[in-house]
Structure formats: structure tokens, C-alpha cells
Structure 1
Amino acid sequence: MIKKLGAILLVITLFSCSSSKPPMISEPMYDVLFGSEYGGASFQFYEIVSDEKEFNILLTDDMIKPYVKKEDIETCNFILVNMGEKKSGGYTLEVQKVEELADKVIVTLKEIEPKGVATMAVTKPCYVIKIKSKKPIEIR
């Protein structure tokens, strides 16, 4: 009886000390820090900000500086996206996928056109995206 009880306690102890871990909750590779229908450039372009000199320019922009910290440049890159001049409001940008590879980060972006009635005014949408990696960025 004592041997049986000892065996049962041993089995319970082994199962309670198993090496299974709870699932990891992964943090997204990016944050959209800023998006606005106004304030962008008249033409469509994006710029990758990865060095301190360019980053310091972001820190002086009144629209962007509330969303970035000086130490971010040590661990992150940033993408400035200007969607160009649009004839109405309602245009947005969607980050479809951010994939980190061994040598780079691939960012897939998609322009979303307005659905239904939109503001009938010229807009210049722009976005700032923080990529949580210092690897080179490829935009698709």
C-alpha cells in the first residue's frame, strides 16, 4: 500500500513538473504611430528612417514627436508614408504584413480607397510606422 501511494505521488509530481509552457504572446513587429488625412506631401513616396540624423528630424516635427522617444532609434526603424494628393477624404493605409527574415524585414502595405460617401476636399494622407527591428526594410 505504501509503495502504491509512493508511486502515485511520484507520477503526480512528475506531471506537475512537466516542461510544457503556456503559449507565448508575441508582440507585433510594428506600430502605426501616426496617421492623418492632412500634412503629407503632394506626391506619393515613402522614406525609411534608420539613422540618428534622420531620426532627429522626426523628433522636431510637432505632429510626430509625441509618438516617438529619443531611445527608439537604438532598436527600431521608421517608415514615413506619404500617399500623395487625393481628391477626397477617406483614404487610409493598411499594414497587411510585417515579416522578419534573417537578413531583413519585409513590410507589405496596401492603400485603401474610401467606401461610400467621403469628404469632398483635397487631402494628403500620411503615416508613420514604427518597425521594431534594426534590420534593413523592404517595402512591398
Structure 2
Amino acid sequence: MKKVVFSCFSFLLLACSSVKPPESSYTSYDVLFSREQDGGRFQFYEIITEESEYKMLLNDPIISPYLKKEDIQTCNFILVNLGEKPTGGWTIKVERVKVLKDKVEVVIKEIPPKGMATTAMTTPNFVIKIKSKKPIEIINPGS
């Protein structure tokens, strides 16, 4: 009986190992941080692919705890600045990151605050870690 159970269990493991999990279970990016201040006064995206640019992130005391020095060898980063906003509460949503044969498409959507928000001027900014070294194409459906 033990032999039969073991054989069935072994077969089940082998059968399951050849099944690929759905694409949505893979994480091809991480939003490393977001903050309402210290961003650019105008909206822009900066794709960070080179080690010399990456040092800027490593020197930032807020971002650096989420990074490893060797990340730049396997990942690219996107610095997203939403520009000057009249209130707090602005954020982004990464709607999709699609890794294609020759590039990575990143769809980013700007999300306005819901309900009441602070009336102080803010300059929201974000850093996204893309787990690929392929060229990045940013698509912003709101622009």
C-alpha cells in the first residue's frame, strides 16, 4: 500500500511540475516607494538602466533599503514624477507590465485623490523596479 501511495504521489508531483502557472502569478515589477513630495514640478518619466544613473537611487536614504547593489545587472527602474498637483492623494497604478520578445511595455495610469484631500501643493513621485533589462516602453493612457 505504501508503494502505491508513493507512486501516485510521485506521478502527481511530476504531472504538476510540467504545468506552467498563469501569467498573472508572475511578478515582473515592484513599486518600490511612493511619496507626495520631492518630485519634479513637471510630469516626466525617467528610465534608469545604467549603473551611473542607478547610484542616484542607491544614495537616496528612502529608496536604498529596497535595493541591492547588483539589481542594476538584472533590472531596470522607472522614476515617475506626476508633476505639481494642487492637493495630496495623487498616486499611480501600474495597470500592466508585459514582457515581449524585444521590449517591456509598462502601462501606467495617474489616479486622482478620492474624496477629501489636503489642499497643499504636492509633487508625487514613484520608483518602479522592472525585473528585466530589455528596453522599456511607457504607455500612459491618460496623456
Sort the TM-score into its range (normalised by shorter chain). 0.7 to 0.9
Instruction: Tell me which residue corresponds to 2:136.
Output: 137
Structure 1 pair 69/13, CA: closer, same or farther in 2 (3 Å)?
closer
Instruction: Tell me which residue corresponds to 2:71.
Output: 72
CA RMSD of aligned residues (A): 2.0
How far off is 1:40 after superposition?
0.4
Instruction: Tell me which residue corresponds to 1:57.
Output: 56
Structure 1 pair 33/16, CA: closer, same or farther in 2 (3 Å)?
closer
Structure 2 counterpart of 1:20, one-letter code = A
Q: Tell which deviates more after alignment, 21-30 or 35-44.
A: 21-30
TM-score after normalising by structure 2: 0.83
Bigger-Rg structure (1/2): 1
Gaps of 5+ in 1: 1-8
Query: 3-state DSSP class of the match of 2:15?
Result: coil
Q: Which runs of 4+ in 1 moved over 3 A?
A: 12-16, 22-27
Gaps of 5+ in 2: none
Distance in 1, Cα, partners of 2:76 & 2:126: 14
Instruction: Tell me which residue corresponds to 1:17.
Output: 11
TM-score after normalising by structure 1: 0.85
Structure 1 pair 64/16, CA: closer, same or farther in 2 (3 Å)?
closer
